[in-house]
Homo-oligomer: A and B are copies of this chain.
Amino acid sequence: MFRPRIKVIDCTIRDGGLMNNSHFTFETVRAIYAAVCAAGVDIVEIGYRNSKRMFSPKKYGIWRFCDDEVLKRLTDGIETKTKLAIMQDAHKADAEDLLPKSGSVVDLVRIATYVKDIDKAIRLANNATEKGYEATINIMAISHALDRELDEALQQVEEETKIIACYLVDSFGALYSEDVDYLVHKFQRYLKTKEVGVHFHNQQQLAYANTIEAVIRNANYLDGTVYGLGRAAGNCPLELLIGFLKNPKFDIRPLFAVIGKEIIPLQKTIPWGYNIPYMIAGMLNLHPEAAMELMNLPEDDPKRSDFVKFYEKMSGVDA
């Protein structure tokens, strides 16, 4: 039995872009986009629409900006019911970078924010809904959020926006199932008119399990990425999620095909997936940045596999 209200969102290129400054080739992104559409996934998020004042187009690839013209070329000729999404960072995006909906192929704008920036997020979300888009607010680093501040932010989101869903984002891959229960329940208590969304990272191999836990608790917006491609250990693998959900509208085969052709070759240059430095960061509820630095050292650098030293440094044992 399936729950029709569940929406699955692919964010492979957006989250994976945090591992390579959004430098995917157009062909790779087109192949992944086509596969996700063919799989019947509800929404696909291609990248960020972040500010070119704050991110240099020389350093970052086109998927950090997702100009409307690029997205039109990307989607051209692919017939699909899958909605197109982009993400704006609350503290790194400009409202005026969003055209009115009539001039864009974008359907949904997702605003990523820390709790402390919730007012900026609300402003950008309202900018999006006023211009005719659907919108969500995705609260990042949720494992560091203080209850009092989070409660107030959720109250504001409920009262001050017309978004369709508000997400809890486990940026650090630190949550266990009981944390998921606690947070989904808290979100539901405040968000009477919005859906709850979840986005997990796999630092402790719990992204998929936590997504299932959230489904059991009635969260309905579920993020995944193809083969888990995403920051640090990556995300809930979309193919596992599609394999779990019983909705017959999904077809898992296009995902298997694109994993073999496009995703596995990326493993040669992008070190996502379960690795001890990420695991240590997740277990300690820390940002994965230092672990990512370690994982980007050459494979034969002994520092890269001196996990004890990294653990002692991260846990403050030697501080």
Contacts and interface: CB of A to CB of B under 8 A. Distances in A.
Interface of A: 176-177, 202, 204-210, 212-213, 216, 227-228, 237, 239-240, 243-244, 252-253, 256-257, 259-261, 264, 273-274, 276, 279-280, 283, 305-308, 311-312
> From DSSP, what is the main secondary structure of chain A's interface residues?
helix
Contact of A307 (B205, B257, B279, B307): B257
B276 A209 contact: no
Contacts of A202: 205
A11 B54 CA distance: 51
A138 to B, nearest CB: 23
Closest 8 CB pairs of A and B: A209-B209, A260-B305, A256-B307, A243-B283, A256-B308, A205-B208, A253-B308, A257-B308
Nearest to A252: B311
Contacts of A206: 208-209
Contact of A213 (B177, B207, B276, B308): B177
A301 to B, nearest CB: 12
A204 B213 contact: no
A306 B257 CA distance: 7
Nearest to A178: B216
A212 B204 CA distance: 12
Contact of A253 (B177, B205, B311): B311
Contacts of A252: 311
Contact of A279 (B239, B273, B306): B239
B212 A177 contact: yes
Contacts of A240: 204-205, 279, 283
